[in-house]
Structure 1
Amino acid sequence: MTATAAPQLKHEVKDLALAPLGNQRIEWAGREMPVLKQIRDRFAKEKPFEGIRIVACCHVTTETAHLAIALKAGGADSILIASNPLSTQDDVAACLVADYGIPVFAIKGEDSETYNRHVQIALDHRPNIIIDDGSDVVATLVKERKEQLSDIIGTTEETTTGIVRLRAMLNDGVLSFPAMNVNDADTKHFFDNRYGTGQSTLDGIIRATNVLLAGKTTVVAGYGWCGKGTAMRARGLGANVIVTEIDPIKAIEAVMDGFRVMPMAEAAPLADLFITVTGNKHVIRPEHFEVMKDGAIVCNSGHFDIEIDLKSLGAKASEVKDVRPFTQQYKLPSGKSVVVLGEGRLINLAAAEGHPSAVMDMSFANQALGCEYLVKNTGKLEPGLYSIPAEVDKDIARLKLQAMGIQIDTLTAEQVEYINSWTSGT
């Protein structure tokens, strides 16, 4: 990948000397991101973002680097901040500053004060478009920077958590601009949520603990697309999987997929490993900790670090100590211990590298094209949530298949006539 030397930029990264390693890893990820490369090449010619200020609040990984580079190729004046304090890859952040001239404010392990300061720095950029991952930037804008709302063309959001927050803003009448629901694009949630989260979650758990999953009773809390992928991959590694759910339809689906389904209160004494993927608060609470096995492992692969009630666990614990990187043991008064991974944050990014680049290729293609759609339709869209257009979704899938060397059938003229006619019968 050809990089251009950057001028002196405002930035906050761990160490610019890490840039060569970051460049090498960004190039490696690019091998499996052919769709985004084609989009970037077109952006470089057409410059759809000339004069547009973009703030991207994302996990700063090798895959995100390709999105940031594509936006810059398209003429964007952009800035990148971390969407999670533990998800930043410091060498990637350094490379984007040093080699590509993209301002980055992200350090792995940054505290909440630093994280919130970076959100404010991003808003100081006075963005026209916000690429959000959890809607922290949009929520802060709406609550604290109302004078900047007139600058906004729109936002794109690719997490379930973020979409829930945007819907709440819309219902409360405070969302005053269009928002692209990237999360619900077929080429996003079918693949990123299911295959990306499924593989990377188990990767993070194994890197953090080196435990054998075969034979372990594993609870997956939540059976959305992320839960489906996590449960499927855990079973593939030999785990005995229990699913907990609040949605009766998803619960039936989990049963039909061959998993045991029960309330968390019943599952808590049985499991060796707990993985939360709900996007909700306090899915695992004090009453669950009290009945867990000694040494039970608890982690989260939802978005924010609120799914596990760590505040209550910490208050109850007589001792908390690091036993491995990203692995803390909480000793309880009963003498039993609970092991928490990644401080309750996204384990796939805290202890591993996040989703494989092959699935992020499609997710970030949606992000890039969602931004372009907002620019092309400036002033035409009412405030609200908008799906990625179906033709764009299918084009991304076609490009991915082509890159994989896979061909599919097309309808014959006779078939087209048949499916569009009501007069033809059996």
Structure 2
Amino acid sequence: MNAPFFPNPTPVAYEGPESKNPLAFRYYDKNRVVLGKTMQEHMRFAVCYWHSFTWPGGDPFGGETFERPWMHGSDPMELARQKADVAFDLFKILDVPFYTFHDRDIAPEGSSLAESNRNVRAIAEIFARKQEETGLKLLWGTANLFSNRRFMAGAATNPDPDVFAYAAGQVKNALDVTRELGGENYVLWGGREGYETLLNTNLKSEIEQAGRFLSMVVDYKHRTGFKGAILIEPKPKEPTKHQYDFDVQTVYGFLKAFGLEKEVQVNIEQNHAILAGHSFEHELAMASALGIFGSVDLNRGDDRLGWDTDQFGMNVAELTLAMLEIIKAGGFTTGGFNFDAKIRRQSLDPDDLIVAHVGSMDAVARALLNAEAAIKDGTVDSFVKDRYAGWRTPFGQSILKGEKTLEDMAAYVEGGDINPQPKSGRQEYLETVLNRFL
């Protein structure tokens, strides 16, 4: 490239709520303390490599619309190096603390796994230097086990063990690179781990294969000293009809079946929650309740469309409900908000990529401030606490501890002439209370 892709590389600054500058933060002030932590510590924002620098703007009915200089040329590795330069320019402009990548986003696939892995390592060396220069960190890495046609019937769940082995070799390299770059998590995204028809599928075999694959990854993590979390991203319906990692509860059941519920957490995406028929906050709350909340891919889907639209998260009301659940879960530890989001294919200018991230970062910041106000008010929390007060009494606790039998329950009700009456859940009242803070 003869000229910088971003014509104005100045880092985005906080200008306050009155600003009308689309290239400035109005609510995200990274050093502002909210509920005992800075906004930056709460959010742990990361920019993803794939949608931002690899997606060309195409859709099923039309080709690319974006003019990305690093996408066209005769030397794939030189283009990959150009892409790395532009990516880190954007990271610095947005002043985010983290980034994320798939191996196939950062480097071209070679004629063999060995060549592909060498390509990834060559670009990772550039990343290491740039991390040292900028102070940026890697939130997580992952392997793309879905784009190449060899994975058309899955990776870990493929009927061919050679494909399983190939995927394992690819994951080993991606996990090694993630560890060497100081990554705080490693994500397993089962893009094609599912099936289309039972006529050609052995369900029992594929589930056992998936469990063996994940167990191998966890074992390798411990043997190599990787300190980060292993994450699975729940993904329903798309692209296969029946995904094995459909939602948080499905993933938890899978982890329990293979004794991995203490080893693996989930990376939750709003768009996937919608495709599974849930809300974003439901999946977050469920992950917290099951003890497997890890990280978040920050985007939004369209309720009327049955695929990933991966739009930037701009719905402040929805994000407020999500932020309340994240705070109740204790906040992020190794995870964060990763912008797994695409600008629309009609958003052609380089600045559109900056504006999209800035707008979504501001939306999350507003959601955090809304959540802070609701928590400090305490009305909703107090109502829920009072609603379940009976379970904190000695009688309620004795039930949960397994100290009471079915006969004890019958004797308690009959002997004490217990006749419980329903109490209002007051949903509309609570929704009205929450609206005060939006």
Is the TM-score greater than 0.5? no
**TM-score of the pair, normalised by structure 1:** 0.32
**TM-score of the pair, normalised by structure 2:** 0.32
Tell me which protein shows more strand as a share of its residues. 1
Answer with 1 or 2: which has the greater Rg: 2
